[in-house]
Amino acid sequence: MPLESGDFVRMDLREDSSRFGLLPVTTSRISSSSSAFFSANQSPFFSPRSPTCQVSESTRSDAQYDSTHLSGDPLSSSSGIPDPESLANTRDALADMTRDPVSGIANDFQKFNRISSSTGISSSTLCIYNYAHDRGYSGFREKPRKHGRSHGMSYTPVSVSSCKLRSCDVFIGLHGRKPSLMRFANWLRAELEVQGMSCFVSDRARCRNSRKNGIVDRAMDVSSFGIVILTKKSFRNPYAIEELQYFESKKNLVPVFFDLSPDDCLVRDIIEKRGELWEKHGGELWHLYGGLENEWKEAVNGISRVDEWKLEAQEGNWRDCILRAVTLLALRLGRRSVVERLTKWREMVEKEEFPFPRNENFVGRKKELSELEFILFGDVSGNSERDYFELKARPRRKNLTVGRNKSSSVEEKRREQQWDNSSEKGKEPVVWKESEREIEMQSGDFSRRQHLVKPKSSGRYGKRKRSTKILYGKGIACVSGESGIGKTELLLEFAYRYHQRYKMVLWIGGESRYIRQNYLNLRSFLDVDIGVENYSGKSRIRSFEEQEEEAISKVRKELLRNIPFLVVIDNLESEKDWWDHKIVMDLLPRFGGETHIIISTRLPRVMNLEPLKLSYLSAVEAMCLMQGSDKDYSIAEIDALRVIEEKVGRLILGLAIVGAILSELPINPSRLLDTINRMPLREMSWSGREAHSMRKNTFLLQLFEVCFSIFDHADGPRSLATRMVQASAWFAPAAIPVSLLALAAQKIPEKHKGTHLWRKLLSSLSCGLSSSYTKRSEAEASSMLLRFNIARSSTKQGYVHVNELIKLYARKRGVAGVAQAMVHAVISRGSVSHHSEHIWAACFLLFGFGTDPKAVELKVSELLYLVKQVVLPLAIRTFITFSRCSAALELLRLCTNALEAADQAFVTPVEKWMDKSLCWRPIQTNAQLNPYLWQELALSRATVLETRAKLLLRGGQFDIGDDLIRKAIFIRTSICGDDHPDTVSARETLSKLTRLQANVQIQNSS
């Protein structure tokens, strides 16, 4: 008999320990009016001698992600309550348990060093999930297995009867095994717990014996509120009816209508099988379990009397339903701080969740959207069932598994049987079951798991192929395709369409230089502190690599909770990070959890995942994108559109630009085709990843030139819109402020210098009128870029995105000085907190990171301003706030080199006669010509050296720090003297560094 999702529910060690033990919750999340919780010593599965776990606000509660996780693992026990004898044998049970997607959290949690002894355990959560594989409730019951549960702590077996459940905020009753129901209940429970409300969750129909039923009954008695998740099958469940009666009598019933509405739950409609819903599932349902008619009617009628709770969980409102439930329960429990926190979080999400507004003109891709849903969830539902796709037949071979599996042939037969059986059932969800070894792809083990498998026919010249396939239902999908084909549009549409299934959509730019910073930027949405800690002198000084890994692990832990997030990595450039060449997938949580991951990339393959290769739009969809809905063309013009479609490479970017030109200008397709063909193309040399696509698609480049000609015709030969596109090529791959982009465009030097003085004079005479005109021209230019689909609007007010393909072409065709203009604009107007990506882009151009040459040179005065106002704040923020130690130190090192080079130029002898004074006194160096500027340069270098020394101290690199701080002291002593405050401060830094170095040597020797 094939195993289906929901037949059993996995309850791993950590879940049960938090379920029956004490769930620590941060005190800041619980108001003073909170109801009393029972302590660890009173919990039935915590010994009075068990260690208590105290957690600070920075790490928050481990229970928030260690609690019950709903799944359908057929290898796990269906019993959720550990027996005392099994608790005594926890270590033996560990070897027999299958690993859970979040099993790594317990070990990671022990690595935390920030433990607050003042924050004790303040609440407890007791949760039971018991699922049998039988549909009925009085029929066959499988004998439960016994598994010991552990959380990495020691437990002493205690008698259940000796402990009593004192208090619980919310009891959640659910009845059924549908995967979507389990996902919803799992999310609801996790969201309540993360907000500090203790929960007890149970499917009472799955309880095995009276002892477990007794625990559930006590939990119902002490719960402040009772949530009953109602489905169309709940009304034939005696336990659901009993829970409705019980909580209604206590006036604390909270019904949640799952795929139902309150109007559907009418006694007459159910009994008389009225409507499509009850035609199959209605009738005199009390007979199915031997209940009483009056009790059943009373329970169902009681639902309509609960006026203040109208919680409907439909396909498109899960997030709203859960957050509303949490908010209402927090209000009833007196948790005002929870309500305020949720309100602020919602306001932030509304503004910053998506990078782009939804594309109202999105066409096609129904098959791809359905397949993405199937890959992530393992099933399709709702409107997607209409677009349900058929998987292509693939040869079923033993070597299709990822990793080794001794029972691969047995596993294949089981999957084939499952596929055949589920196909006979019509629209039953197809859930692929992989063993742990088959899906293990995380972190450093990846390189060891890339096994090469033998082909079926191992001939003499048989080639070895890497085993790859699409993993269905494991929560990760990869979309690949060439530039401009519409990968971002597909991911954006999927995110908007299914965002209610997730707490939040987390959008990350995948460019190799910025992906780690983009990932760490999630801290504000996940409410996690990833900053560098101060060294106390008692603990071991951790290396910079350890500190960076801890920051990443903190974000990763938040994504490992049972709260679902959708992580979108758009335009992944490389599998390795640009800074340290580590595998990018180390950033992500283990696959198979509640958090889902979608990756778009131009790479043919990411890790050993088989990507969903994005194809071109159909001819009808492409025509719709170009033609629009309000224009009718003749057959000749339609033929011209088809020619344009083919010549533009059928790329969605080109089709969208063509459609915009036809809608904005009085031009027909045939004339546009002729114009593009006659447009001259500049000679350019292409190299790198885009060289092939650029060389073969010259028609697309000519289309870009047509757009630039349109801009120049509308706004003169120096169109601001054209210059903004040129300037955008040097900005970071992120949203660009229109004001900053326009400023950079205005700083681009003119080709003809003759009129520069005249224009400068005119601008000085009309300075009073220039501000309003500049703002108007900025708005007009950005509007033109948006209308012609050269740029796209951002959800941030006053920001735009420019397509990377257009930026690449603009960089090649741009005039000299564009990069310089961008750097000057960012330095003068950029903000470290708001425009850090673009400031990093400017630093890449200025200092030449890695093997890149310097693209921009600054004057000494400009360099001093850059160091003081930009580089130092950026480096300190990167180091302290985001724990990106290596990047910050590399920035300061290159800045030091630039200052030393400028200083060397200052002390170089001057040989030109015009650099001498009028008194014919020879000036040997520029430092003598401008001593004040030279002193400022030297002091600035001392400041950078001292900053580097202080940061190196935090990573235990005392030798390098000692050398740097001594150089800083020498410079300040020479210029300012020994008693200057800056010199004294540098000497104090040296003393601290020497003291810490001595302490470390003593610790190492002992």
pLDDT digits (tens, 9 = 90+) for 52-100: 333 333 334 333 333 334 433 332 333 333 333 333 333 333 333 333 3
Q: Which pLDDT value is given to residue 910? A: 57
Neighbours of 114 (CB within 10 A): 12
DSSP tag of 801: E
Q: Do residues 308 and 318 touch, judged by C-beta distance below 8 A?
A: no
Distance CA 143, CA 132 (A): 10
DSSP lists the bridge partners of residue 229 as 256
Going by pLDDT thresholds of 50, 70 and 90, the confidence category of residue 813 is: confident
pLDDT in the model for residue 146: 36
Residue 15: what pLDDT?
A: 37
- Here the tokens at position 388 are 């349900």
Please give the DSSP secondary-structure letter assigned to residue 504.
E
Buried b (16+ CB within 10 A) or exposed e, 695-720: eebebbbbbbbbbbebbeeebeeebb
Cβ-based neighbour number of residue 297 at 10 Å: 16
Tell me the pLDDT tens digit for each residue of 268-327.
888 988 888 888 888 888 888 888 889 999 999 988 888 778 899 998 899 999 999 999
Contact 212, 42 (CB under 8 A): no
Query: Mind listing the pLDDT tens digit for each residue in 730-762?
Result: 999 999 999 999 999 999 887 654 444 434 433
Task: Categorize the per-residue pLDDT at 166 as very low, low, confident or very high, splitting at 50, 70 and 90.
Answer: confident
Give the pLDDT band of residue 779 (cuts 50, 70, 90): confident
**Cα gap 521→596, rounded to integer Å:** 18
Cα(441)–Cα(446) distance, integer angstroms: 5
Hey, what are 515's tokens? 């992906």
How far apart, in whole angstroms, are the C-alpha atoms of residue 795 and residue 782?
15
Is the pLDDT higher at 164 or at 8? 164
The predicted pLDDT at position 775 comes to 59
Calculate what percentage of the chain has a pLDDT beyond 90: 37
With 60 as the cut, is the pLDDT of residue 638 above it? yes
Burial class (CB in 10 A: 0-12, 13-18, 19+), 685: exposed
> Taking the mean position of all CA atoms in its chain, how far away is CA 646?
36
Query: Would you state the pLDDT for residue 282?
Result: 86
Query: What are phi and psi for residue 201, nearest 5 degrees?
Result: -115, 135
Instruction: With a cut of 90, say whether residue 570 has pLDDT above it.
Output: yes
What is the dihedral angle through the alpha carbons of 560, 319, 429, 433, rounded to the nearest 10 degrees? 0
Residue 80 CA to residue 69 CA, distance in Å, equals 11
Q: pLDDT band at 534, cuts 50/70/90?
A: low
Residue ranges covered by each domain of the chain: 13-230, 353-392+472-614, 902-1005
> With the C-alpha atoms ordered 88, 92, 96, 97, is the resulting torsion angle positive or negative?
positive
For residues 244 and 255, is the Cβ–Cβ distance under 8 A?
yes
pLDDT attached to residue 84: 36
DSSP state of 568: E
Question: Roughly what angle, to the nearest 10 degrees, separates helices 767-787 and 720-728?
Answer: 70
- Confirm if 494 and 598 have CB atoms less than 8 A apart: yes
pLDDT at 456: 40
Question: What would the two tokens of residue 974 be?
Answer: 């020479």
Buried b (16+ CB within 10 A) or exposed e, 149-176: bbbeeebeebebeebebebbbbbbbbbb
| Separation between Cα atoms, residue 728 and residue 811, nearest integer Å | 8
Determine which helix (DSSP H) or strand (DSSP E) holds 802, and give its type and residue range: strand 799-802
Q: Measured in whole angstroms, how far is the alpha carbon of residue 600 from the centre of its chain? A: 13
- Angstrom CA distances, 686 to 481, 484, 696, 910, stand at 20, 17, 11, 42
> Is the pLDDT reported for residue 459 higher than 70?
no
Q: How many other C-beta atoms can be found within 10 angstroms of the C-beta atom of residue 723? A: 26
3-state secondary structure labels for all residues of 215-242: HHHHHHHHEEEEEEEECCCHHHCHHHHH
Which runs of consecutive H residues, i.e. helices, occur in 25-134?
63-66, 84-88, 90-96, 105-110
CATH number of 353-392+472-614: 3.40.50
Average pLDDT, integer, range 944-954: 93
pLDDT of 123 > 50? The answer is no
- Rounded to whole angstroms, the Cα distance separating 528 from 233 reads 40
Name the DSSP letter for residue 586.
G
Q: What is the mean pLDDT of residues 848-875?
A: 91
pLDDT for position 623: 87
- The size of the chain, in residues, is 1006
Instruction: Give the pairing of strands 596-601 and 168-173.
Output: unpaired
Sign, CA torsion 876/882/885/890: negative
pLDDT of residue 897: 94
Picking from 731, 735, 729, the residue whose alpha carbon sits closest to that of residue 797 is 735
Does position 46 have pLDDT exceeding 50, yes or no? no
Over residues 787-813, the mean pLDDT reads: 91
Choose between 11 and 1004: higher pLDDT: 1004
The pLDDT of residue 176 is 87
What tokens were used for 751? 């080709």
Which pLDDT does position 512 carry in this prediction? Answer: 92
- What is the reported pLDDT for 342? 93
Does 628 have pLDDT greater than 90? Answer: no
pLDDT at 246 over 80: yes
Q: Give 873-922 pLDDT, tens digit per residue.
A: 999 999 999 999 999 999 999 999 999 998 888 777 655 544 445 454 55
pLDDT at 597: 93
Spatial CA neighbour of 529 closest among 194, 59, 54, 110: 59
pLDDT at residue 569, as a whole number: 95
pLDDT at 37 over 90: no
pLDDT exceeds cutoff 70 at 248:
yes
CA distance 561 to 101: 10
Q: What is the mean pLDDT of the segment spanning 618-644?
A: 85
Rg of the chain taking only CA atoms, in angstroms: 33
- The values of phi and psi at residue 662, to 5°, are -65, -30
Q: Is the per-residue pLDDT at 435 higher than 90?
A: no
Tokens for 275, please give them.
């409507």
Q: Measure the CA–CA gap between 180 and 473, rounded to whole angstroms.
A: 12
Q: Give pLDDT, residue 688.
A: 65
The pairing of beta strand 565-572 with beta strand 504-509: parallel
pLDDT reported for residue 306: 85
Report whether 891 contacts 845 (CB < 8 A): no
**Quick one: the chain helix, strand, coil %, rounded to 5?**
50, 5, 40
Could you tell me which residue, 588 or 427, shows the higher pLDDT? 588
Which of 35-49, 292-306, 536-550, 788-802 shows the lowest mean pLDDT across its residues?
35-49
* Residue from 34, 56, 223 nearest 127 by CA: 223
Neighbours of 235 (CB within 10 A): 26
Sign of CA pseudo-dihedral 410, 415, 418, 419: negative
Tens of pLDDT, residue by residue over 332-360, are 999 999 999 999 999 999 989 999 999 88
Residue-wise pLDDT tens digits, 169-192? 999 999 888 889 999 999 999 999
How many helices, marked H, and strands, marked E, lie in the chain?
41, 15
Lowest mean pLDDT among 81-95, 542-556, 582-596, 753-767: 81-95
Q: What are the distances in angstroms from CA 681 to CA 36, 687, 700, 881?
A: 75, 17, 11, 47
| 943 vs 945: CA distance, rounded Å | 5
Beta bridge partners of 223: 168
Between 30-34, 374-378, 980-984, the lowest mean confidence (pLDDT) is in 30-34
Share of the chain above pLDDT 70, in %: 67
Q: Which amino acid is at 885?
A: C
Longest dimension (CA), the chain: 116
What is the pLDDT at residue 763? 44
Closest-CA residue to 10 (of 436, 585, 480): 436
Average pLDDT value for the chain? 74
pLDDT score recorded for residue 696: 76
Is the confidence at residue 766, as pLDDT, over 80?
A: no
Which residue did the predictor score with more confidence, 3 or 974?
974
Q: What band does 33 get if pLDDT is binned at 50, 70 and 90? A: very low
SS3 77: coil
Alpha carbons 330 and 34: distance in angstroms, whole number: 9
Sheet holding 596-601, edge to edge: 504-509, 565-572, 596-601, 476-480, 612-613
Cα separations (Å) of 24 from 57, 604, 677?
11, 45, 69
C-alpha 230: how far from chain center: 32
Q: Which of 929, 947, 937, 931 is nearest to 901 (CA)?
A: 937
Average pLDDT on 446-457 reads 38
- If residue 529 lies in a helix (H) or strand (E), which one and from where to where? none
Q: Distance between CA 101 and CA 436 in Å, rounded?
A: 9
Say how far residue 526 (Cα) sits from the centre of its chain.
9
Distance between CA atoms of residues 651 and 639, nearest Å? 18
Strands 791-793 and 565-572: unpaired
Mean pLDDT confidence for 435-453 = 38
Instruction: Give the pLDDT band of residue 145 (cuts 50, 70, 90).
Output: very low
CB 336 within 8 A of CB 580: no
Reported as a single tens digit per residue, the pLDDT across 672-717 is 999 999 888 877 776 666 666 677 788 899 999 999 999 888 777 7
| Position with higher pLDDT, 541 vs 129 | 541
